Amino acid sequence: MKGIVFNILEQMVIEKAGLAAWDQLLQDVQPASQGIYTAGGNYPDEEVVQLASRASEMLDIPLNTLVTAFGSYLFSNLVKKHPVFVEQQPDFFSFLKSVHDVIHVEVRKLYEEPSLPHFRYTQLNTQQLRLEYRSPRKLCMLAEGLIAGAAEYYAVRYQLEHPVCMHKGADHCEFLITLEP
C-alpha cells in the first residue's frame, strides 16, 4: 500500500485522538516500517490492517465503521492534494465512473507500482449506478467510505446497497448506489 494512505491515516488519528494516540498505536503494533512512511513508498498491506485494527480497539469503534470513516477522510484529503480529478467531473456519478479509467491511470503515472482495485460500472438509469469492485485486499468498506466522501463533495444524498461481497465468499463486491431526491 502506498505511503500516502498511511500518512493520511496518521493525520486522521492525530486529528481525532491526538499525537499520543498515534504514538501509542505505533508502539502497540510495532510495524516493520517503524511508522515511517513516505508518500510514494510501498508498505505491506498488513501494516495498515494492523494499525486500523488496533485503532478500532483503542477508540472503541467497530473496525468496519472506522475503515468506512477513514475512506471518507481519505477522499477529502486526496481531493486537497489532487483537486483536478473532481474538478474535471461535473457530478457524482461522472466522478465515480472516472475512477478506474481516468484517476487510476494518473495514479500509475504518479506512483511506482500501485496496487489498485478494479472497478466496472453499469449506469442503470439517471438515479442508479451499479459499481463492481475487485481487489485482493478486500477493502470494500474503504471503498464505501470513499464513495461517501465523493457524495459529500458533490453534495448529493444517496442510498448504498452492498448485496454482493467478497467477505461473504463472492469473487467481487457490488454496490448499488441510488441518488435520493
Residues 39 and 83 in one domain: no
Yes or no: say if 137 and 67 are a contact pair by the CB < 8 Å rule.
no
pLDDT digits (tens, 9 = 90+) for 54-100: 999 998 999 999 999 999 999 999 999 889 889 989 999 999 998 88
Q: Please enumerate in sequence order all residues whose Cβ is within 8 A of that of 46, keeping only pairs 6 or more positions apart, or say none.
A: none
Residues 57 and 13 in one domain: yes
Final residue of a structural domain among 15, 35, 61: 61
pLDDT of residue 54: 95
Q: Kindly tell me if the per-residue pLDDT of 22 is higher than 90.
A: yes
Cα atoms in the Cβ-side hemisphere of radius 13 Å centred on 84: 5
Final residue of a structural domain among 19, 39, 61: 61
d(CA 181, CA 175): 19
d(CA 22, CA 28): 10
CA angle, residues 166, 170, 171, in degrees to nearest 5? 85
Band (109; pLDDT cuts 50, 70, 90) = low
Among the residues of the chain, which ranges form H helices? 3-17, 19-29, 45-59, 63-81, 84-87, 92-98, 104-110, 140-153
Average pLDDT on 7-22 reads 94
pLDDT of residue 41: 87
Mean of pLDDT over the chain: 91
* Share of the chain residues as helix, strand and coil, in percent rounded to the nearest 5: 55, 15, 30
3-state secondary structure of 163: strand
Q: What are 98's three cell numbers? A: 472516472
Final residue of a structural domain among 61, 79, 105: 61
d(CA 124, CA 116): 25
Please list the residues that pair with 132 across neighbouring strands.
120, 174
Q: Kindly tell me if the per-residue pLDDT of 20 is higher than 80.
A: yes
Residues 80 and 31 in one domain: no
Give residue 16's domain range: 3-61
Residues 50 and 111 in one domain: no
Average pLDDT on 116-126 reads 92
d(CA 139, CA 152): 20
CA dihedral 102, 117, 81, 43 (to 10 degrees): -140
* Count of the separate structural domains present in the chain: 2
Residues 92 and 133 in one domain: yes
CATH of the domain at 139: 3.90.1520.10
Residues 103 and 154 in one domain: yes
